[in-house]
Amino acid sequence: MTPELGQLALILALLLALAQSVLPLIGAWRNNHALMAVARPAAAGQAVFVALAFGILAWAFMTFDFSVQYVADNSNLALPWYYRFAAVWGAHEGSLLLWVLILNVWTLALAMFSQNLPEVFASRVLAVMGLIAVGFLVFTLFTSDPFGRLLPMPADGADLNPILQDPGMTTHPPMLYMGYVGFSVAFSFAIAALLGGELEKAWIRWARPWTNVAWGFLTLGIVAGSWWAYGELGWGGWWFWDPVENASFMPWLAGLALIHAQAITEKRGSLRAWTILLSIVAFSLSLLGTFLVRSGVLTSIHAFASDPRRGLYILIFLGIVIGASLLLYALRAPKIAHGKPFNVLSRETAMLIGNLMFVVAAAMVLLGTLFPLIADALHLGRISVGQPYFGLLFPLLMTPVILLMPFGPFLRWGHGEPAVLKAVLLRIGSAAVVCAIVAAFFVHGQVKAILGTAAAVWVGFGVALYAYKRWREFPRGRRYPAEMAGMLLAHFGVAVFLVGVLLSEALSVTTDVRMAPGDAHEVGGYSFRFDGAQQTTGPNWHAEQGTVTVTRNGRQIAVMHPQKRTYPRGQVQTESAVKAGLTRDLYVALGEPMDANNVRGAWSLRLYYKPFIRWIWGGGVLMMLGGFTCALDKRFRLKRQAAVVATTGNEPAPALRPQENTA
Amino acid sequence: MNRTHKRRLTIVGVVTVAVALAVALGVYALQQNMNYLLTPSQVQSGQASGYRTFRLGGMVKRGSIHRSDDSLKTTFIVVDADGAMPVEYTGILPDLFRDDQSVIATGHMDNAHFVATEVLAKHDETYMPKELKDAMAKAHAGKEIKAEAGTAAGGGNPDP
C-alpha cells in the first residue's frame, strides 16, 4: 500500500509545482499580489510531498519490500542497511527522485531567504524553480516510476551494483546533485532578470553565495567520485576523461567562470549580459550531464540503465530549456547591459581571460564528449575520442590561467598598475625558478615534475604574497573578510592540486607483475612481498584476499590486503588496498589467478607507488572550502539584514524597490 | 584611424589568431585521437588498413584464452559471426574477462594478429555495450548475434 502513497505524493508534488510556476508568473505579469503569494506555500507543499515520496522509497528499502520492482532490482536480504539506504539513489529512478528532492531543498532555502527581494522578482525566481521541478517530476512519473510493482513478489532481491557498494560512492551522487541542482538558482535568477528586463547589482550580490555553495558541492562531488574511482576501479587512476566524468566537469568549468563573472558584475556592474549567459550555460550543462548519464547514449563505465524513451524525453526537455532561455536571452539581454569601463591592464581583463579559458575548455570537453554521438548520427563510423585529446588540450588551455592567477588579486579594478605587477612577477618568478632548480635534483630530471613544482610555487607563493600584503596594509578584522579568505583558500587549493597532478603523474611507478607466494618485487624503493591469497567472506560477498607485506630497507611499512570480491549474482569486483600517506601512496590490487588449477597460487598483481597523489584531492577539498567560505561573507548577509530592517515597516528598502514592471 | 580604433583592431586581431589556433589545435588533437570500432570480420575485409590504432570489438572465443607461464602475456581469439582475430595482450585483464564475454580491445595490427594495449570487458553482467551490439549487428545484418548466449549465461535478470 505505501508504495502507491509514494506515487500519489509525487503526483501531488507535480500539481503543486505547476501551481508554484504558473500562478506566480501570471501574478508577476499582471502585478497580482495574491497570485505571486502562491509561490512560497506551493514550494513548501511540494517539498513536503517530495520528501514523503523519498522517505517511502527509503522505507521500502529498509523493510525489504521486494514487491517494489526498484527495491527488488537494487537490494537483497544480505545488503547492509547503509548500502540499502544508499541504494535509494543507486540506479536511475531513485537518483531522479534524489534530484527532485535536492531541487526542493534549494527551492525551500530560496523561498526562506528571499523575503527581502522585490516581490515580483522573487516570485519569478521561485516560478522558474517550479518549472524545472515540473519537468523532472513529469519525467519521473511518466518514464521512471520508482514505485512500480513487481508481481509475483520475489523472495529475495537482486543486488546493488557492487561497484556502488563503497563509502565514496554513497556520498558522490548527492554531492554532485547538490552542485548540479544548485546552479538552477543562478539560472532562475537569470531568467527572472531577463523576464523583468532588469538586473540590479544588489540581486547579483544576493545570488553570489548560492552559486559559490553550489560550485563547492559540485567540487566535493567530483573529488569524491575521483577518490572512489582510484580505490574501487583498481586501476589506480584518478581521472579518466570518461564521458560521465566529463558530464560533471563541464558544469564545473562553467560554474567556475560564473563565480568569477558574478564577482565582476557585482563589484563593477559590468558584464551583466555575460554573467546571465553563463548562468544559463552552467545550468544547461548540468542538465546535459543528467542526460548523458541517464540516457545511456554513451558507452561508459557509469551508464547503467538505458531506455530510449527517457533519452528522448530529456533531449526534448533540454531543448526546451536551452532553446527558450537562449531565445529569451537574445530578445532581452541588450536591455540589461551596463557597467563601468575598464582598461586592458585591469583585474577585469585578467578575470575575463580566465573566464574565456574556462568556457573554451568546457567547449573542448563538450566536443570531445559529444563527437562520438555526432559522428554516429552522421554515419562517420563508431568512434571514440581517446584520453590524449583531453590530456593535450586541457593543460594547454589552463596554462594562461595558471600564469595569470597570482596577478589577479594584485591588479586593481578598472586600471592596474604595471609597477606592482613587475614587483610581483620578479618575486614569484624567482621563487618558482629557485624551487624548480632545487626540485630538479630530487626528481631525476623529470620535466613534468620540475614544471609541477614551478607552477605550484608560482601560484602558491603568489597567493601567500597577496595574503601578506593584506596583512600588512589592512587593520585587524578587515584583513581577511570571508570572501577574500575563500578566494585565497581556493587559489591555494589550485597550487596544492598542481603538486598532486604533476608530481604524481611524473613520479608514479606502476608495475603489473606475476607473483607466486614468497615472491618479492621492488617498486619505488619499497619491497612488496606476496604472501599468498586466502578465502574470506563479508556480509554479502566472498573474496580471495591477498596478503602483501611492504618493507623498506628491511623495515616493515605495511601489511596490505587487496581483495577480489564475488557478489551473489556472480559480479566480480576488485577491492584495492591502499596505504595512504602525505608524500606517497602505496597501492596494491589483485589481478587474477595465473594458473587454472592454482597449484602454485600465483597471481597477477598491480603494485603502484604514487607520490603526492593525495594532494590532488587535498587541492580539490581546499577549492570546495574556498567556495563555501566565500558564501559566508558578511557583505552578502549584512545587506540582507539591512533590507530586513527596512522592510519590517512594509516599506521596501530604497535600493531594492521594485522597478516598473516591463514584462 | 585613431588610437581607440587601433587598439580595438589589435584586440580583434589577437582574438582571431587565438581562436584560429585553438580550433586548428582542437581539430588536430581530435583527429589524432579518434579510434574506430571494428569487428574481426571488418578487419579481415581490410577496413582497418587506414588506421594505425583502432578498437577491436567482439566475443572472446570459448577455450581460446592462453596465459603464458612466466609473464603476464595472454593470447585469446576475438570472434564475431563470421570472423576471428587472434589478440595478444600483456598486462592484467579486467575482472569480467572470460570465455564468451564481449570485449573491446584498443591496439594495432601486427601482421595477422592484434596487439592490444587496453582490454575492456562489458561492465554489467546483463549489459552489452550498445555501441558494440550495433557494430556487430551492422557487420552481419540479419544474422543472429551470438552475444545473446553470453549475456544469458551471465545469470541475473536480463534487461527488458
Question: Which residue of chain B has the CA closest to A605?
Answer: B92
Is B33 in contact with A386 (Cβ distance < 8 A)?
Answer: yes
Is B123 in contact with A301 (Cβ distance < 8 A)?
Answer: yes
On the question of pLDDT at A249 being above 80, the answer is yes
B86 and B7 share one domain: no
- What distances in angstroms separate CA A43 from CA A11, A107, A180, A193, B85, one per listed residue? 14, 7, 19, 20, 60
B29 and B88 share one domain: no
Grid look-up 515580483 returns A120
Question: Which residue of chain B has the CA closest to A357?
Answer: B22
A270 pLDDT band, cuts 50/70/90, is confident
The rounded percent of chain A whose pLDDT value lies above 70 is: 92
CB A43 within 8 A of CB A108: yes
pLDDT of B1? 59
| ipTM of this complex prediction, to 2 decimal places | 0.70
| B56 found inside a domain | yes
Return all residues near A428 (Cβ < 8 A) that are at least 6 apart. Answer: A406, A457, A458, A461, A462, A465
The model's pLDDT over B91-129, given as tens digits with 9 standing for 90+, comes to 888 877 888 888 888 898 888 889 998 888 765 444 444
Q: Residue B52 corresponds to which cell in the numbers above?
A: 594505425
Is B123 in contact with A371 (Cβ distance < 8 A)?
Answer: no
| B159 found inside a domain | no
pLDDT of A401? 94
**Which residues from B are below 8 Å from A when comparing CB atoms?**
7, 11, 22, 25-26, 29-30, 32-37, 55, 67, 70-72, 91-93, 95-97, 123-125, 127, 129-132, 134-135, 154-157, 159
Residue A110: Cβ within 10 Å count: 22
Is B33 in contact with A306 (Cβ distance < 8 A)?
Answer: no
Shortest CA gap A476–chain B (Å): 42
The model's pLDDT over A552-575, given as tens digits with 9 standing for 90+, comes to 988 999 999 999 888 877 778 888
Cβ burial of A585 (10 Å; 0-12, 13-18, 19+) is buried
Is B35 in contact with A513 (Cβ distance < 8 A)?
Answer: no
Please state which of the ranges A354-368, A452-466, A525-539, B23-37 shows the lowest mean pLDDT: B23-37
| B72 found inside a domain | yes
On the question of pLDDT at A298 being above 80, the answer is no
pLDDT of A496? 96
On the question of pLDDT at A224 being above 70, the answer is yes
Question: Which residue of chain A has the CA closest to B39?
Answer: A382
B62 and B22 share one domain: no
Return all residues near A517 (Cβ < 8 A) that are at least 6 apart. Answer: A530, A531, A532, A600, A601, A602
Cα(A383)–Cα(B131) distance, integer angstroms: 10
Is A388 in contact with B71 (Cβ distance < 8 A)?
Answer: no
B100 and B55 share one domain: yes
Shortest CA gap A604–chain B (Å): 7
Q: What are phi and psi of B95, to 5 degrees?
A: -55, -40
Shortest CA gap A529–chain B (Å): 17
Shortest CA gap B70–chain A (Å): 8
Is A389 in contact with B33 (Cβ distance < 8 A)?
Answer: yes
| B158 found inside a domain | no
- What distances in angstroms separate CA A241 from CA A42, A624, B93, one per listed residue? 41, 21, 21
CB A530 within 8 A of CB A522: no
B135 pLDDT band, cuts 50/70/90, is low
Range of the domain at B80: 37-152
B57 and B18 share one domain: no
Question: Which residue of chain B has the CA closest to A296?
Answer: B130
Grid look-up 539591512 returns A642
Question: Which residue of chain B has the CA closest to A512?
Answer: B91
- Average pLDDT (B22-30) is 82
Cβ burial of A143 (10 Å; 0-12, 13-18, 19+) is middle
Q: What are phi and psi of A162, to 5 degrees?
A: -55, -30
pLDDT of A338? 67
pLDDT of A464? 95
B89 and B22 share one domain: no
The model's pLDDT over A423-445, given as tens digits with 9 standing for 90+, comes to 999 999 999 999 999 988 887 77
| B147 found inside a domain | yes
B54 and B108 share one domain: yes
- What distances in angstroms separate CA A149 from CA A70, A146, A152, A163, A397, one per listed residue? 8, 9, 9, 26, 50
- Average pLDDT (A208-224) is 94
| B66 found inside a domain | yes
Q: Taking all residues of chain A, what is their mean pLDDT, rounded to a whole number?
A: 86
pLDDT of A654? 38
Is A299 in contact with B135 (Cβ distance < 8 A)?
Answer: no
Cβ-based contacts of A381 with chain B (< 8 Å): 36-37
Cβ-based contacts of B36 with chain A (< 8 Å): 381-383
Is B30 in contact with A604 (Cβ distance < 8 A)?
Answer: no
B112 and B47 share one domain: yes
B1 and B63 share one domain: no
Shortest CA gap B133–chain A (Å): 11
Q: Residue A154 corresponds to which cell in the numbers above?
A: 520475489
Angle at CA A233, nearest 5°, toward A231 and A234?
A: 70
Cα(A199)–Cα(A209) distance, integer angstroms: 17
Bigger pLDDT: A264 or B31?
Answer: A264
B25 and B42 share one domain: no
Is A388 in contact with B33 (Cβ distance < 8 A)?
Answer: yes
- Sign of the dihedral through C-alpha B25, A368, B130, B64: positive
pLDDT of B95? 77
- Sign of the dihedral through C-alpha A546, A551, A555, A557: negative
Is A592 in contact with B92 (Cβ distance < 8 A)?
Answer: yes
- Average pLDDT (A111-122) is 88
pTM recorded for the entire structure? 0.87
A13 pLDDT band, cuts 50/70/90, is very high
B53 and B16 share one domain: no
- Domain total for chain B? 2
| B109 found inside a domain | yes
pLDDT of A323? 92
- Average pLDDT (B150-160) is 31
A570: nearest CB among B71, B91, B125: B125
Is B67 in contact with A513 (Cβ distance < 8 A)?
Answer: no
Beta strands per DSSP E along A567-640: 572-575, 577-579, 584-593, 603-611
Indicate the helix (H) or strand (E) that contains B79: strand B73-80
B58 and B12 share one domain: no
Cβ-based contacts of B55 with chain A (< 8 Å): 384
A62 pLDDT band, cuts 50/70/90, is very high
Cα(A4)–Cα(A274) distance, integer angstroms: 46
Is A389 in contact with B124 (Cβ distance < 8 A)?
Answer: no
- CATH number of the structural domain spanning residue B70: 2.40.50.140
Q: Residue B153 corresponds to which cell in the numbers above?
A: 549465461
On the question of pLDDT at B59 being above 80, the answer is yes
The model's pLDDT over A14-55, given as tens digits with 9 standing for 90+, comes to 999 999 999 999 999 999 899 999 999 999 999 999 999 999
B148 pLDDT band, cuts 50/70/90, is very low
Q: Provide the number of CB pairs (under 8 Å) joining chain A to chain B.
A: 93
Please state which of the ranges A209-213, A230-234, A647-651 shows the lowest mean pLDDT: A647-651
Cβ-based contacts of A592 with chain B (< 8 Å): 92-93, 97
pLDDT of B27? 82
Shortest CA gap B62–chain A (Å): 15
Is B71 in contact with A514 (Cβ distance < 8 A)?
Answer: yes
B92: nearest CB among A299, A569, A591: A591
* A-interface mutation test, from B6, B9, B11, B33, most A Cβ less than 10 A away: B33
Is B29 in contact with A392 (Cβ distance < 8 A)?
Answer: yes
Return all residues near B87 (Cβ < 8 A) that are at least 6 apart. Answer: B56, B75, B76, B77, B78, B105, B107, B113, B114, B115, B116, B119
Cβ-based contacts of A344 with chain B (< 8 Å): 7, 11
A389: nearest CB among B29, B132, B156: B29
Euclidean distance between the first and the last CA atom of chain A, given in angstroms as a whole number: 47
| B157 found inside a domain | no
pLDDT of B71? 80
Is A569 in contact with B93 (Cβ distance < 8 A)?
Answer: no
